[in-house]
A = this chain, B = another copy of it.
Amino acid sequence: MARKLIRANTPLYLQVESTLKEMIEESVYSTGEQIPSERELSEQLGVSRMTVRKAVENLTRHGFLERRSTNGTYVRQPKVRRHVGKDVAVGLTQLLAEEGSVAGSKLLRFEEMRAPLKVAEKLNIHVGERLIMLQRLRTSNGQPFCVETSFLPRDIVPDLSRADLETSAASLYSILLGRYKIRLSHNNETLKLSYATSEEAYLLSLKEGDPVLLLRVVVLDENDRAVEYLKSVNNPDLVMFSSASTLAF
């Protein structure tokens, strides 16, 4: 089982990394299976445990392996992929509502607050205006994949309550549309790479500092009134989202 490590001028730990990656891709170790312990690998490959650790650490960070403390290291399932139906506009709400996955969400926070500067700028309102801030943990097939924080001007959703979001499985969009007749016309998104805070890490089963996608969306209604500002953090291993847009060239 032990493969040769060629003494090239590539670092040993990279050679170990490639070796393990190959073995995973060739299904020598298949999905979900446990790979040999660090101590075993170290012996099999004739390198120190710390070198094996460095290789395993990298592969873990890159999603090939998953470590379970005091238990073992396992081959991860290949990342969930989505196929994007052509021509079908997909909004953020339908992020994962396809391919038989069951979308869920858990309300983490529901607070009334006054608009701080940054949010006010985004929503084009005045600092200090009344807002609802709500935070939801969104799941796909029970798997948390995204922490979403929304800011809604209070006057647009005057009687929206915590219970509305706790009880109904309905999306925020359908509530806005159904109850308040708010028809969202277009939005504005920015996106960047970021790193998980400790809280996000806990919610998404990541480690603090793991890379995540940070998405900011401002949704506008027909009158270009901003009705929502949300910031969401996505688990990169689970989510891959799409949007169809009409580009203005």
Which one of B190, B191, B220, B240 contacts A190 once the chains associate, using CB atoms below 8 Å?
Answer: B240
- Does A205 interact with chain B (Cβ within 8 Å)? no
Residues of B within 8 A of A25 (CB): none
CB distance from A221 to the nearest CB of B (A): 11
In the bound complex, do residue B236 and residue A192 qualify as a contact, i.e. CB atoms below 8 Å apart? yes
CB distance from A186 to the nearest CB of B (A): 5
In the bound complex, do residue B191 and residue A247 qualify as a contact, i.e. CB atoms below 8 Å apart? no
In the bound complex, do residue B249 and residue A246 qualify as a contact, i.e. CB atoms below 8 Å apart? no
Residues of B within 8 A of A92 (CB): 247
Residues of B within 8 A of A189 (CB): 84, 242-245
In the bound complex, do residue A248 and residue B188 qualify as a contact, i.e. CB atoms below 8 Å apart? no
Q: Interface-forming stretch among A99-107, A133-141, A177-185?
A: A177-185
- Does A86 interact with chain B (Cβ within 8 Å)? yes
Residues of B within 8 A of A63 (CB): 195
For residues 226 through 249 of chain A, which have their beta carbon under 8 Å from a beta carbon of chain B? 234, 236, 239-249
C-alpha gap A218/B244 in the complex (Å): 10
Taking beta carbons and an 8 Å cutoff, which residues of A are in contact with B? 58, 61-63, 79, 82, 84, 86-87, 89, 91-93, 124, 173, 177, 183-193, 195, 209, 211-213, 218-220, 224, 234, 236, 239-249
